[in-house]
Structure formats: structure tokens, C-alpha cells
Amino acid sequence: MDFNGKSLYLSTILLIDTLKESKAQNCNNNKINREQIEDSYQEKSTNRQEWEDERLVWDPAVDDAEFYFAFDSEIWKPELFVDNSLADVSILNDQYLQFRVENTGLVEWELPRIFVVHCDVDIQFFPFDKQSCLVELTSWAYSVHELVVTALYETVQFEEMRTNGEWTIESSKVETRNFTEVKPGGTERSYSVIDFTIIIKRNPSHYISSTILPILATSVLSILVFILPVDSGEKVGYTLTVLLAEAVLLTLVQDSMPSSSKNISYLSVYLAMTLVLGVLCVILTVLVIRVHHRSPNIPVPQRINVLMLKMCIPLSCWRGCCCSRGKKNANGKVGPNTDPSEAYVDTDDQKNIEDFPEDYLFAWTEIAAIMDWFFFILLSTITALCTVVLMSIVIVGGIIS
């Protein structure tokens, strides 16, 4: 085609008809079906292109026709391709798709096609995340002095968009720019590029019911082991079962999440935290059982008694709000337990922790009970704080991102 020193202006538009989830993703420039695999998206679209060819102008009164249809081999068309395509970087063409030619020289061409394009996936706030996908349409051989690509509309069109269960479209935009290529001799050549950007938001309903709620449930179940009586003989079996469930759930959740090493999801951090707390619960449970079954003939070291009196009982409010029930001596006060083999006995009277003298000796069964309650309060607090903080970050971050 002879450009006569002028640039040909090509107008194009991206129309979207479908948005769905699959194991591959389709991109077409006018109608899009989107699916996500790692850093690629599949979009199904239709690319509508218009340009004017002065050689195709005729008088409809003379030729008795206002328009006609032609094939690819019969008229000239611009050489365009999707620059960020991962599956197919060939020229956009179809030998069986007809062009509509108006008597004014206007040529219209609509090309439906599926493209897999590269997108930077940010899963930091998964499943409340938003993704931005870009379709780069550029000229293959013609520079900006010969071909300029412009947009018919400022946004991607969604007239035929179908509802998708996983994604909703937030917004879109169309931008034009020039890409400059430096040749080996140092000369520069610029090409016209048009960018179709689509912002989509994930619908979190499915992930809340299938991922977040089971995670929260297992994290609560793991700390309930500390209120299970030691004499039941089920503490270790219970905590190992919950830990195994957390490990299986972690595997299933990771399979449903997009793989990306650029950003770590806060939900993955929370999953790792619950798994670590599950392992910690197993270790602490074994420790409590070992203390509970320790021989009563072995005296309790004084430093352990002080630790119970000064830290564990006050911080966990064992058997009352920072108070305790104890065995009374002849003076009606809580006194030292002179017989280490004698277990702690509850009475109906409640005493403040200050009523325990520093030389008070707990039995091993009492220490195990205090440790159980202390670990329950401690891990419940840690789990609650981490859950509130991380979930707040995920939800708020997804809204403002």
C-alpha cells in the first residue's frame, strides 16, 4: 500500500462477552473470557478494527452497491499482533473471515480469537484481591509514520458481557503510546501501541466458605486440647488429629490459590501460623502430660512454684479472676503443702493469689492443671489477635488496593 507520506489511522475497540474461570485463559481484543493460571490470563474477545482505504472509494449510484464483502487475500489490511501473548504471537488474520467495505473506503473487520496473555498477578490480599490484565496490540511492520493505532472508545466495551461466578469487572481503560526500537546502526523506529487494561475483582464468597471458615475452625479446635482432662487419655490423639487436619487443609487451600513468588498472600501467612501453633499445641500437650504423671515422690523445685505463683496463675486467672482456691491450715489460711504427694484440694472458699505464701508447694498434678489453663489462655489470645489482625489486613487491603 502506498502511504504517500501520510500515516494511516486505524481505529480499534475491545469488546468483552464472557468472563469465566478455567485452567487456561483466553484473550480476544473485543470480547473477553478470563481465567487465571499463575501469571497468565485467558481471555476470549472480539477485536473490531476500522480504517479508510482511499483506493476502495466508489460511487454507489454508478455501481449500484453501497458496500461489499471481501476476503483477506483481496484487500490490504494492517499487520497487528498481541505483544504480550504467551500462546500465539502470530499476526492477527483469518483467511475465512470477511471484511465489510463501504463505498466511502471505510473497511470494518471483526476478529474473534482466544489469547493467553501475561499478567502480573498480585495475590497479597487473596481472596479479596483485584487483578489488572493488559492486552497490548501493536503494529508488526509499520512504524508510526505509516500506521497509527487509535481507540474507538476510551474504555473496553462490555455490551455482551456474561455474568461470571468468580470475577466481576471493576473498570477498564484504553491508552495509546509509542514503542521505540533502536536498530543496530543506532537509528530509532517507533511503533504505535494500544493498551486495553481491565481491572477485575475476585468474588470471595466461595473462598470464605471453603477456605477461611475451615481454617478458623481448625485453629480454634487445636487450642481446645488444653481444656481436655489429662486423665481422659485423649489429649495427644486429639491434638495430632487436629494437626493432621490442618496439614491436609493447608495443602488443599494452597492448591486453590494462584501460584506467585512476587507477593506472599496474607492468607498463606495465616495458614503457616495456624500450622505452627498446631505443632506447638502438640509439644505443650506432651509436656503437660509428662508433668501430670511425674512421680509425687519427686519434690517440685521452688523456682517452679514461684513461676506458678508469680506468672502463670495471675496471668491466666486460674480458677477465678486472679484468685485461687486452696487448702486451709489450722489458722484458716492457705499454707504450705507439707506433703508433696497430696494433691491440691478445692474448697468452697476462694482466696486471692496473695494468700499463697512464697514457700507454698504445689503438687505435680496441680502444676499440670495450671499449665493447661495458662497455655489455653495464652494460645487463645495469640490466635485471636493474629486472626483479627491478618483478616483485617486482607479485607481492608483488598478494598483499598
What cell was used for 127? 481472596
277 and 301 both lie in a single domain:
yes
257 and 377 both lie in a single domain:
yes
Residue 343 has pLDDT above 70, yes or no: no
CA–CA dist 111, 97 (Å, integer): 8
pLDDT of residue 341: 45
Beta bridge partners of 112: 46
Final residue of a structural domain among 157, 174, 202: 202
Q: Which residue has the higher pLDDT, 35 or 113?
A: 113
Which residues have a Cβ under 8 Å from the Cβ of 55 and sit 6 or more positions away? 105
pLDDT of residue 8: 57
First to last CA, the chain: 47
Residue 124 has pLDDT above 80, yes or no: yes
Beta bridge partners of 117: 41, 85
Residue 310 has pLDDT above 60, yes or no: yes
Q: What is the CATH number of the domain that holds 105?
A: 2.70.170.10
DSSP secondary structure code for residue 41 in this structure: E
Residue 218 resides in a domain: yes
251 and 140 both lie in a single domain:
no
Q: What is the mean pLDDT of residues 102-123?
A: 83
267 and 296 both lie in a single domain:
yes
Q: Is 394 exposed, middle or buried (0-12, 13-18, 19+ CB in 10 A)?
A: buried
- Under the banding of pLDDT at 50, 70 and 90, the label for residue 10 is low
**SS3 of residue 89 by DSSP:** coil
For 319, left (φ over 0), alpha (ψ -120 to 50), or beta? left
CA–CA dist 33, 10 (Å, integer): 25
Residue 342 resides in a domain: no
Residue 353 resides in a domain: no
Contact, 249 vs 243, CB < 8 A? no
Q: What share of the chain is helix, strand, coil (3-state, %, to 5)?
A: 35, 30, 40
Residue 348 resides in a domain: no
Which residues have a Cβ under 8 Å from the Cβ of 56 and sit 6 or more positions away? 75, 101, 105, 107
CA–CA dist 42, 89 (Å, integer): 14
Q: Which residue has the higher pLDDT, 89 or 219?
A: 219
pLDDT (tens digit, 9 = 90+) per residue, 234-280?
899 999 999 998 888 888 877 777 666 577 888 888 988 999 999 99
176 and 101 both lie in a single domain:
yes
Work out the percent of the chain whose per-residue pLDDT is above 70: 78
Residue 81 has pLDDT above 70, yes or no: yes
Residue 190 resides in a domain: yes
- String of b and e for 200-235 (b: at least 16 CB within 10 Å)? bbbebeebeeebbeebeebbebbbebbebebeeeeb
Provide the mean pLDDT of the chain: 78
Residue 341 resides in a domain: no
Q: Which residue has the higher pLDDT, 329 or 76?
A: 76
197 and 220 both lie in a single domain:
no
CA–CA dist 137, 174 (Å, integer): 11
Which own/partner pairs from 248-257 qualify as long-range (CB within 8 Å, at least 24 positions apart)? 249/214, 249/215, 249/218, 250/275, 253/211, 253/215, 256/207, 256/210, 256/211, 257/123, 257/126
Which residues have a Cβ under 8 Å from the Cβ of 76 and sit 6 or more positions away? 1, 53
pLDDT (tens digit, 9 = 90+) per residue, 14-57?
665 544 443 433 333 333 343 333 456 666 677 888 888 888 89
- Under the banding of pLDDT at 50, 70 and 90, the label for residue 100 is very high
pLDDT of residue 27: 34
- The reply to whether omega before 78 is within 30° of 0 (cis) is no
Q: Hey, what amino acid is at 158? A: F
195 and 244 both lie in a single domain:
no
Work out the percent of the chain whose per-residue pLDDT is above 90: 14
Q: Hey, what amino acid is at 336? A: P
177 and 251 both lie in a single domain:
no
What cell was used for 355? 494468700
164 and 55 both lie in a single domain:
yes
219 and 172 both lie in a single domain:
no
Final residue of a structural domain among 185, 202, 219: 202
Residue 158 has pLDDT above 70, yes or no: yes
- Under the banding of pLDDT at 50, 70 and 90, the label for residue 388 is very high
Which residues have a Cβ under 8 Å from the Cβ of 317 and sit 6 or more positions away? 323, 377
Residue 285 has pLDDT above 70, yes or no: yes
Residue 194 has pLDDT above 50, yes or no: yes
Least confident piece of the model among 79-83, 288-292, 324-328: 324-328
Phi, psi of 50 (to 5 degrees): -135, 140
Final residue of a structural domain among 175, 202, 229: 202
Q: What is the mean pLDDT of residues 359-381?
A: 87
Q: What is the CATH number of the domain that holds 266?
A: 1.20.58.390
CA–CA dist 94, 168 (Å, integer): 31
Contact, 28 vs 44, CB < 8 A? yes
- Under the banding of pLDDT at 50, 70 and 90, the label for residue 389 is very high
Residue 348 has pLDDT above 60, yes or no: no
Domain boundaries, position 226: 206-321+362-400
Residue 340 resides in a domain: no
Q: What is the mean pLDDT of residues 173-191?
A: 86
How many domains is the chain partitioned into structurally?
2
- Under the banding of pLDDT at 50, 70 and 90, the label for residue 320 is low
223 and 372 both lie in a single domain:
yes
pLDDT (tens digit, 9 = 90+) per residue, 199-242?
888 888 888 888 889 888 988 999 999 998 888 888 999 999 99
Residue 58 resides in a domain: yes
CA–CA dist 136, 366 (Å, integer): 70
Q: Which residue has the higher pLDDT, 298 or 263?
A: 298
DSSP secondary structure code for residue 259 in this structure: P
CA–CA dist 284, 112 (Å, integer): 62
77 and 126 both lie in a single domain:
yes
Q: Which of 88, 141, 96 is nearest to 117 (CA)?
A: 88
pLDDT of residue 5: 43
Residue 65 has pLDDT above 70, yes or no: yes
